[in-house]
Amino acid sequence: MHSTTHFSTTRVDRCTFAEGDYGDHTVRRHRSTPRGKVTERELRRSCTRIYRNVYQRQDAELTARDRAIAAWLWSGKKAVVAGNSAAALLGAKWVDPHEPAELITDRKRPPPLIITRNETLLCGETTSVDGVAVTSPARTAFDIGRRPGFQTAAIRIDALAQATGMSISEVQPLIDIHRGARGIKQLRRVLPLVDAGAESPQETRTRLVLIAGGLPRPQTQIVVGKYRIDMGWEEWRVGVEYDGPQHWTDPWIRANDIERTVKLERLGWRLVRVSSEMLRHRPHVIVARAREALHAAGCPL
């Protein structure tokens, strides 16, 4: 559940708070009232300026979703939230709140940390989230999948697919309609690799390493009794798991992992464990160990 966040918009010397609810976020805007209702000093003391005439309470942490709504308020509620900002509003995780908000609008000269694009959106390419106009999941995937950076595009579409249940088949018609759009070549490469089962950017990166290493595409979130394995090949009982820093440094988590590994091995599973250091500097080791485990399990590679 999203935390409640308060915004304020309009001139600071002519205002009073009136609430409007956007999902789990309470957005507040100012309406014109006699001068002096809320002073500039009071607003500066209790709020942080996000954009011109858009403020957030100082005790609220700014999220990517909040920034998207703030940018939409800056537009006078006339823009369509797009790109990574749309992904955040649609529920995708891992969107950086410090990145600029993205809007589709004909309004020019945006302030810092807002990117505007004057693009035509076709019927079916927009939707609404808590009253905020936003590009549809398919259109959002179409946009973020064309941005430079193959791995980043895969991570972002994985997160979007997990949040929305979007199928890559929903994106294909947009490729056909918008032939010649910049970045289409990369998008065509990314889409077949999308997997909504990835639960972190590191899991996406690990999966891409395995595929790039010539191994069969792994399944994700394999259920084995009361356990779930990040990814692997159920037929051969070979699993690959990314372990974040807490899995190596937290004694309780480490002890639990050891017990879990023992029980899975008793069920005939071979597990390949992946650390951030391996993923960053030694991806070939991940591929080699997974290949060795598959070969030992009888997989014809």
Residue 218 shares a structural domain with residue 230 = yes
d(C-alpha 40, C-alpha 38), whole Å = 7
Q: How far apart are CA 54 and CA 254, in angstroms?
A: 45
DSSP output for 51-79? ETTEEEETTS---HHHHHHHHHHHTTS-S
Low-confidence ranges of the chain (pLDDT < 70): 1-40, 42, 245, 247-248
290 and 223 in one domain?
Answer: yes
Whether residue 144 is found in the same domain as residue 49 = no
pLDDT recorded at residue 87: 99
Give me the CATH number covering residue 247: 3.40.960.10
Q: For the segment 55-91, what is each residue's pLDDT rounded down to a tens digit? A: 888 888 899 999 999 999 999 999 999 999 999 999 9
Last residue of a domain, one of 147, 181, 196: 196
Residue 5 pLDDT: 52
Q: Is residue 301 part of a domain?
A: no
Q: What is the pTM of this model?
A: 0.86
Q: Say whether both 129 and 243 belong to one domain.
A: no
- Do 50 and 77 lie in one domain? The reply is no
For residues 229, 234, 240, 241, the Cα torsion angle rounded to the nearest 10 degrees is 0
> What is the domain range of residue 1?
1-61
Residue 199 tokens, joined: 């639960």
pLDDT of residue 245: 67
Tens of pLDDT along 34-44?
444 556 676 77
User: Count of CB atoms within 10 A of residue 147's CB?
Assistant: 16
Residue 39 lies in a domain: yes
